Structure 1
Amino acid sequence: MIFNETKLRGAYIIEANPIKDNRGFFSRAWCKREFEQHGLETNIVQCNISYNLKKGTLRGMHYQKNPYSETKYIRCIKGALYDVIIDLREDSKTFGQWVEVELTEENNKALYVPKGFAHGFQTLQDNTYVYYQVTEYYTSEAEGGVRWNDPKFNIIWPIKEPIVISSKDSSWPLFKS
């Protein structure tokens, strides 16, 4: 695996390093040892799949509040998505900044999101599947979020208005630090 740290300290885009032959390829998607060598959290306790029927579906921007804050490792296993994270760590030099990465079944990239970040995505194709590994169990009372179109962050989404978005995601409050 190839680990590329983003401009947001602790957040990585991780690329597959496939071994190819006439059958296709083989590649690690997860290796505790390699993650630990980069100082990344490896205590995965839950794996989730998000199925998204329509192109333009927007999910986010989500996080879990302390003490249930979670690290996420995200990969697109079918289709394509525009994945976005926002640094909400108040002591961070990049507080309030965001980065994006396109995750597709073809590019085999993954996104490592440390604790203290909001996360969301918009699908770029119909029938997109997203696979998450997380370091905390989902705790409904710790759920938090910020609005996908909050002017404080000014995220540039590829599809300006979501085609599908939940009422919860469209009604997250504007961010207040």
Structure 2
Amino acid sequence: MPVVKTDIEGVVQITPTRFVDSRGYFSEVFKDAWFRENVADVTFVQDNESFSVEPGTVRGLHFQLEPFAQGKLVRCIRGALFDVAVDIRHGSPTFGKWFGCELSAENGMQLWLPAGMAHGFMTIVPDTIISYKVTAPYSAEHDRGLRWNDPEIGINWPEADNHMLSDKDQKQPFLRDLPTYFHFAEQETV
């Protein structure tokens, strides 16, 4: 599985190999030992899945506080979406910077986001399903967010006729108003 580092330390793209024949394909999308050796030595405790009917559906930007801070391994299993990580680790050389890429059922790409990232996505086509592994369970008490369209961050979201967001996501704070939740610590990367 090729691993491509991004400009944000710890955030990587992974594209599992597909073995294709006339029937379709086979792919190992996750192997614990391989992931620990090549990406991050973490334990996943929960798998989540989200279905969005309309293109332009935005979910995020979300994160959780310690002790429930989550690393996420994200993939799209139906349709296509634009997936985004925003570095909110104070002291990081990329604090407030974002990385985004298209994840689709067709390209099979995955995105790993360590704890300390705000995560969100926007669907590009109808009936899109995102699936992701997390390193900590959901905790409503520790759930936080960041404004999806904060001009200070300047995420270049795909064009959409209409952006659909939850009430909660429409009211998230701007980066400048976020308390210091995470501190950057240089991590061993592979």
Contact 2:3 2:14 in 1 (8 A): yes
Q: Percent identity?
A: 38
5+ residue gaps in structure 2? 181-190
Structure 1 residues not aligned, in runs of 5+: none
State the alpha-carbon separation in 1 of the partners of residues 160 and 24 from structure 2.
Answer: 37
What is residue 173 of structure 2 aligned with on the other side? 173
Check whether the contact 1:58–1:162 (CA below 8 A) recurs between aligned residues.
Answer: no
Distance between the aligned counterparts of 2:39 and 2:124, measured in 1? 32
CA distance in 1, matches of 2:44, 2:37: 16
Q: In the alignment, what sits opposite 2:36?
A: 36
In the other structure, the counterpart of 2:153 is 153
TM-score normalized by the length of structure 1: 0.95
8 A Cα contact 1:41 1:71, kept in partner? no
Provide the rounded CA distance (Å) in 2 between the counterparts of 1:45 and 1:77: 20
Corresponding residue number in structure 1 for 2:100: 100
Change (3 A) 1:61 1:11: same
Matched residues in 2 for 1:48 and 1:131: separation?
6
TM-score by structure 2 length?
Answer: 0.89
Matched, 1:58 2:58: yes
Question: Aligned equivalents of 1:74 and 1:130: distance in 2?
Answer: 7
Distance 2:93 2:62 in 1: 21
Q: How many residues align?
A: 177
Partner of 2:82: 82
C-alpha distance 153-162 of structure 1, shift in aligned 2 (>3 A): farther
Aligned to 2:4: 4
Post-superposition Cα deviations, 1:65-124, rounded to whole Å, max 9, x if no partner, equal: 122111000100000000111011112111111010100110000110100000000000
Aligned 8 A contact 2:55 2:160 in 1: no
What does residue range 126-137 of structure 1 map to in structure 2 within 5 Å? Answer: 126-137=126-137
Give the aligned CA root-mean-square deviation in angstroms: 1.3
